[in-house]
A and B are shown apart, each in its own frame.
Chain A
């Protein structure tokens, strides 16, 4: 009896299997030329990596770290209680771009990626199909996400194009398998969590890197005495990205959506020479009790790191100022919605420095949101709690698109057609140690609702009790009210657990 499928047929079918599992990237065709002359508005989104609103004078910080952003704020809507969806680049950026929280998009790990279902559900895919979309980031973690959304991005400028040095090979050699080959590249050449898996090749790579770094330092070292701005072996100076923006913005097509994700003030803090020493002042931040997840850093160390961060932030702000002046001069602000925000914040208190932590205190998740609409000449302040997941529905609303049913955010106050009955709850999620596909067993969730914020921990070896703060009277989160207001804490905890159940996370 002859088999209906021959061995050859079977082998052919097997070779096609990966195609079913991994759709090939589709590059969207260029925007039709008819839109180049359209009078429709452009949208420009500027994301500063790791910019905490708690370090900006616009939001009450005593150091004048961001005078240029303050200038911009004078003609923008200023959201005073805006929050990121997570406490590091991948989760925060993915929430901003998809309009859903990390428990839904599941980009919860370093270099993580969103679920396949979100590759076509993002800020670029919801932009009108006849519009033009473009994106750039310094941060390879954000680039991994943009790679996933590439089929909806017309012009995807690679990180290396505006970097001094980018030793990445994956995107050149294995473009159709970028994210996974990048992870492998990290393991083979750089290691990180482990030693590099290449015994000899990685040493050769390190030797070449060292020699490149020395060359870069010899050119840029005098300008950047604390080191050349870098992350993941990518070296850059912000001036290059800003120069590109200054040149490109007036030429960008209409209508267009631009996403620019710049690295400063993300660590390592490498301020330009003129920003060093700007904050050698008497400012002493409020001392706070150590977190259950404290790394044991002293206040003296934390204040030193805070000062370095502030100096690096001042460098980022100076460069933004140059861009802002150019936008004013070229009247870009008159026909563009300009959004300035961040993917997450940074923490220098409670024994923790940076943002790689399971905690979700305000400096980590309270981020700026400034939106300037065309023709706006006066500042408008909004004090409602808002989230980065609100940006996508707001932009959909602004561009006349229906707000997709899958988003978890709401249209931002200031842009709503109808008032909402109840102010929505705002969440932030940290789940680096949980599975992407399964239940979020080890997770921290912050819920901000009305005056209160609950930080809820689950699954840690010594799981701390939930912390409850009254943000209206205690914005510094000094007094934990969980024991004195147990019913409020219980209600908020119930809401968090309900959300986690809804997202199939238990």
Chain B
């Protein structure tokens, strides 16, 4: 049990990291919901619209939770100084970087699909290098950690905003499937 005591993350740190993780996931979901909304407005009643918007919001909440839980578990599994000591800064920045790479893949999916091992290998090495670099920078520069932490505080406000809509969405999904 000692490991849990020594690495216990404060509720403040947990909410800061969740807010930071939920941010890219929700922004991506909301942008794409808004992009399809005009087409949906043509075909759906208000109640149907509430339904089709609710599912992606619930999915965004689930995705955020899975990532967040995964990182919390990692903070217990990995050596303390790797992640647990700078949990907020590292978890946030690693998820943002992951989100950036994921968005890049989403925009270039068709092209990447055509890639052979010759193109794929350098791509994967670049991704791995970017994670290594970011990890090293946060570990090396304390000021960077502070700066990231301050940034995540801004995301907590947004997190409450998402959570309201996500929970409303969850209620709609449940009601529609009763």
Contacts and interface: CB of A to CB of B under 8 A. Distances in A.
Contacts of A433: 42
Contacts of A191: 32
A99 B42 CA distance: 23
A202 B106 contact: yes
A13 interface: no
Contact of B29 (A21, A181, A197): A197
Interface in A417-472: 433-437
Interface stretch (B48-56, B132-140, B160-168): B48-56
Interface stretch (B7-15, B143-151, B170-178): B170-178
Given A21-B47, A203-B106, A206-B109, A197 B56 contact: yes
A451 B56 CA distance: 51
A108 B44 CA distance: 11
B54 to A, nearest CB: 8
Given A19-B178, A176-B176, A195 B48 contact: no
A77 to B, nearest CB: 37
Given A177-B51, A184-B55, A437 B45 contact: yes
Given A197-B29, A200-B67, A188 B55 contact: yes
Contact of B39 (A17, A22, A193, A203): A193
Interface string B10-43: 0000000000000011001100110110011111
Given A109-B42, A203-B102, A193 B35 contact: yes
A177 B176 contact: yes
A154 B56 CA distance: 33
A201 B176 contact: no
A201 B65 CA distance: 12
Contacts of B173: 174, 177
A187 B44 CA distance: 15
Contacts of B56: 184, 187-188, 197-198
A180 interface: yes
B42 A180 contact: no
A194 interface: yes
A18 B42 CA distance: 21
Given A194-B36, A434-B42, A180 B175 contact: no
Contact of B107 (A21, A185, A193, A195): A195
Contacts of B42: 109, 433-436
Contacts of A185: 55
A201 B59 contact: yes
A194 B35 contact: yes
A15 interface: yes
B58 to A, nearest CB: 9
Interface in A96-113: 108-109, 112
B36 A187 contact: yes
Nearest to B29: A197
A193 B36 contact: yes
A353 B41 CA distance: 28
Contact of A184 (B51, B63, B99): B51
B126 interface: no
Nearest to A181: B55
B63 A198 contact: yes
A108 B54 CA distance: 23
Contacts of A181: 51, 55, 176
B20 to A, nearest CB: 14
A322 to B, nearest CB: 36
A84 to B, nearest CB: 20
Contacts of A198: 29, 56, 59-60, 63
B69 interface: no
B77 interface: no
A61 interface: no
B105 interface: yes
A116 to B, nearest CB: 9
Interface in A198-229: 198-203, 206, 210
Nearest to B33: A197
Nearest to B45: A437
B105 A197 contact: no
A301 interface: no
Interface in A141-189: 174, 176-177, 180-181, 183-185, 187-188
A199 B63 contact: yes
Interface string A331-365: 00000000000000000000000000000000000
A295 B28 CA distance: 31
B127 interface: no
Contacts of B73: none
B106 A184 contact: no
A196 interface: yes
A199 B41 CA distance: 23
Given A18-B175, A188-B59, A194-B36, A199 B52 contact: no
B175 A183 contact: no
B48 A180 contact: yes
A437 B113 CA distance: 40
Nearest to B47: A21
12 contacts: A18-B175, A109-B39, A181-B51, A184-B54, A188-B55, A193-B39, A196-B106, A199-B106, A200-B25, A200-B63, A200-B102, A206-B109
Interface of A: 15, 17-19, 21-22, 108-109, 112, 174, 176-177, 180-181, 183-185, 187-188, 191, 193-203, 206, 210, 433-437
Query: What 7 A-B pairs have minimum CB-CB distances, sorted nearest first?
Result: A184-B55, A180-B51, A194-B35, A197-B32, A197-B56, A199-B28, A177-B176
